[in-house]
Amino acid sequence: MSHLFTPLYLPSQRGGITLPNRIVVAPMCQYQAQDGCATDWHLMHWGSLLNSGAAMFTIEATAVLPEGRITPNCLGLWDARTEAAMAEHLRRARALAPSTAVCIQLAHAGRKASSAVPWQGGQLLSPAQGGWQTVGPSAVPHLPSETPPQALTPDGLRDIVAAFVAAAQRADHLGVDAIELHCAHGYLLHQFLSPLANQRSDAYGGSFENRCRFPLEVFAAVRAAYRGVLGVRLSATDWVDGAWDLPQSVALAQQLKTLGCDFIHVSSGGVSPQQKIALGTLYQVPFARAIRQATGMVTTSVGLITDPHQAEAIVQAGDADLVALARAFLYQPRWGWQAAAALQGTVQAHPAYWRCLPREAQTVFGKVSVNQR
């Protein structure tokens, strides 16, 4: 029996969820929102990937405040208007794939906010270009040529904690099955962890304990307000000598587990242009393995995983409990079906699709393919 197609139970304070397989669609920014609101693009995108064969689909990085968006076109969940737009589009998408779990990634971009979309260069936008003043742990820009962010004051820190809590409550109103807090890829919570971005001299900077303080405060506040499955996306290393690294990630994961974290989604990098990433097939799997072995937590591995047999090997070896794919699903929105065919697993799919299978893969849906009348 395929390990990738075995169920996994994710416990929570209110009963948890059972995933029918170990495949997750990772969050992928689409840059198609209008003033933070979901659009018909999201309806199309979500509807497609909810029928992908993955056990859980993760909504892209969703800003908890307008100034926390990566770009002016990023999705948000900070008021009744953005909540209503997401509720309507998500309701319509989920009606066609009710068995797929939905997770949402809540985020604040910090000093990497106010940027152009990737196909327009991805650089910091000035107010004249539609940008805004960014904030961060310290007045240290991501790139030397950029305008520095404003260092967050104690009041600003409290406002952001409150915004994460409010967004989590809104997500709960939407009926999501899980929430993932974005503490990776150089965005605000990761910026506090990394000494490359965090040069504060108060209780939120300097030592490992101080640099972890704000991300842990955010997590604890959300945990107190949300009883569902709650996890964290973590950059396990900055890929820069002397910066955030795997041993610190393991120590942080242990603290998160104590606070009630249900899973760790393990990624890396993003906080510095000095990073030297050793790209290659399965290059981030060792980080997930180390965190899982040290903490016993449910872990998700991601990064250049494209082949079903690679995903199967990760789960079979105990390197991670879940395998997340992003760009592979954009290229092949039915990747989960292909994995089931390759590994003799089964997936859920709308009956309208049952007739599409090639003869050699007719049991992917657990049924015989329906003939055309």
Active site residues: 187
Nearest alpha-carbon partner for 292 in 259, 325, 249, 324? 249
- The vertex-228 CA angle with 226 and 234, nearest 5°, equals 85
On whether the CB atoms of residues 230 and 12 are closer than 8 A, the answer is: yes
Alpha carbon distances (Å) from 153 to 106, 203, 222, 294: 21, 12, 20, 35
Residue 48 CB neighbours (<10 A): 17
Do 180 and 265 form a contact (C-beta atoms < 8 A)? yes
What is the DSSP pairing of strand 17-19 with strand 8-10? antiparallel
Cα–Cα distance, 98 to 86 (Å, whole number): 16
* 50, 189, 314 from 213: Cα distances, Å: 36, 10, 32
Residue the block writes with tokens 């990073």: 275
Measured CA to CA, the distance from residue 253 to residue 236 in angstroms comes to 10
Phi then psi for residue 173, to 5 deg, are -60, -35
Place of tokens 């974005």: 182
- Strands 17-19 and 298-302: what pairing? unpaired
The percent of the chain in helix, strand and coil, each rounded to the nearest 5, is: 35, 15, 45
Which alpha helices (DSSP H) does 35-153 contain, by range?
40-49, 80-94
Which amino acid belongs to residue 113? A
How many residues in total does the chain contain?
A: 373
Cα gap 45→171, rounded to integer Å: 19
CA atoms within 13 A of residue 166's CA, in its CB half-sphere: 16
Pairing between β-strand 298-302 and β-strand 135-136 as defined by DSSP bridges:
unpaired
Q: Which two tokens stand for residue 249?
A: 């990630």
